[in-house]
Structure 1
Amino acid sequence: MERWPALELASTIRHDGDGGVADDLATAEDVTRWIRAQDDLLPAHIRAGELTADDTLRQGIIELRGAVRALFARAVSPAPPSPADARHLMPADKALAHLNAAAARELVAPQLDWPRDGTPAARFLTAQSDPHIGVLATLARAAVDFLSGPQREQLRACTAPRCVRYFVKSHGRQEWCKASCGNRARAARHYKRHRVTPGLPGAD
């Protein structure tokens, strides 16, 4: 299944398995683990596998995530957004400005690297010496690419009970982000259809 950095960032808010919402970026150590886990999705100049987050970077990524989730909510409208933050979403115009400002914090120029006896490949040249700014800018640009690309039309908020994830619809009838959410949704529908109404024949 294809992965997108912007969707991975939005998905760091998730159902905790106990009726609440968990934050995978709750501490700087959590952010470090998450960034390193995205090493295969981020460009090589970021060196995600070597990066260590601090509280300033954590706050920056949390704010960027808020902007991304607000724009995801706009993308899925008029369908309802994720219930995790539906009541306190960043206004869409503020989210857009925040995303664009973050994306502009690092200027990157693609360079062609073509060894005489090798295969041509792209590398990135940046004058930015702070890797934390590079991470924020890279994640913001990934969100720009995602929201301006064809996958935006397939973005959905999972409708399974208690789920708070967004996902990219991969086939025509897909309603949920994963199979376990589908099972939970079907079980909830079955229970609702067969629940006995108090006061009617058959009720206790």
Structure 2
Amino acid sequence: MLVLEFVSTVRATRSGLLDTLSDVEGMTGWGRAHAAELGLTAAFTATEDLWREVVELRQAVRALLAKAVAPGPASSADADRLPGFAESLDLVNAAALAAPLAPRLDWPAEGAPVATSVPAGERGESPRVRAALARSAIELLAGPAREQLRACPAPRCVLYFVKEHSRQEWCSVGCGNRARAARHYHQHKSR
């Protein structure tokens, strides 16, 4: 899910938080890795403005995810530094509208017609990128997967994930192992 990959550009490592989008070069690399989903070419190069706008959008989306997992705890990465809910909601909605989509009918010579969505009018890269990211966030938050959205409770983990089965507690096997190891350590340390 694009929105979860987007908000996971902030993640924990052993040495602290790592922000994949910490600079323009990071945004360029991440944009190229997700070019198809964002409507970019393989030669995409981020600008300073696009980078700032995308990072601002990421914080707004993280604020909405934090509200969606409530009353459970939000991600510890930035729970104390997130923008307000109303401001975040407005920003995500405005970003989604910045590059509206229109249906287009494609009808190959040897096949059935297929409907695709294309940008309605010419838009720059920043509105297209932000609109794709905002639409992905809206689809998650307004869809049935929202009920399964969780912040990973593992020590030092700052990721959000969609719970895929009833016994899933963590975002990954690695986080589950770290959580069990930490629990085991604390149980045996107090003896």
1:53 paired to 2:46: yes
Alignment equivalent of 1:152, drawn from 140, 146, 153: 146
Q: RMSD of aligned C-alpha atoms?
A: 1.4
SS at match of 2:37: coil
Equivalenced residues, count = 190
Say which SS state the counterpart of residue 70 (structure 1) adopts: helix
1:34 corresponds, among 30, 34, 43, to 30
Q: Distance in 1 between matches of 2:60 and 2:177?
A: 31
SS in 2 for 1:139: helix
**Which runs of structure 2 are paired with 1:155-170 in the superposition (5 Å)?**
155-170=149-164
Query: Contact 1:111–1:125 at 8 Å: present in 2 too?
Result: no
The corresponding residue for 2:130 is 136
Distance 1:87 1:169 in 2: 24
TM-score, normalised via structure 2 length: 0.94
Gaps of 5+ in 1: 198-204
CA contact (8 A) 2:3 2:137 kept: yes
Cα distance in 2 for residues equivalent to 1:126 and 1:12: 29
Write the letter of the residue equivalent to 1:143. A
Q: In structure 2, do the counterparts of structure 1 residues 32 and 70 end up closer, same or farther at CA, with 3 Å as the change threshold?
A: same
Q: What residue number does 2:173 align with?
A: 179
Equivalent residue for 1:66, pick from 59, 63, 74: 59
2:104 to 93, 101, 111: 111
Q: Quick check: which has more Rg, 1 or 2?
A: 1
Instruction: Mark the runs of 5 or more structure 2 residues left unpaired by the alignment.
Output: none
Task: Please state whether the residue corresponding to 1:47 is helix, strand or coil.
Answer: coil
- Name the CA distance, whole Å, in 1 between partners of 2:59 and 2:140: 16
Q: 1:169 to 1:139 in 2, by over 3 A?
A: same
Choose from 94, 115, 122 the match for 1:122.
Answer: 115
Take 2:172 and 2:104, find their aligned partners in 1: how far apart are those partners?
A: 39
Q: Report deviation, 1:86.
A: 1.2
Partner of 1:202: none
TM-score normalized by structure 1? 0.88
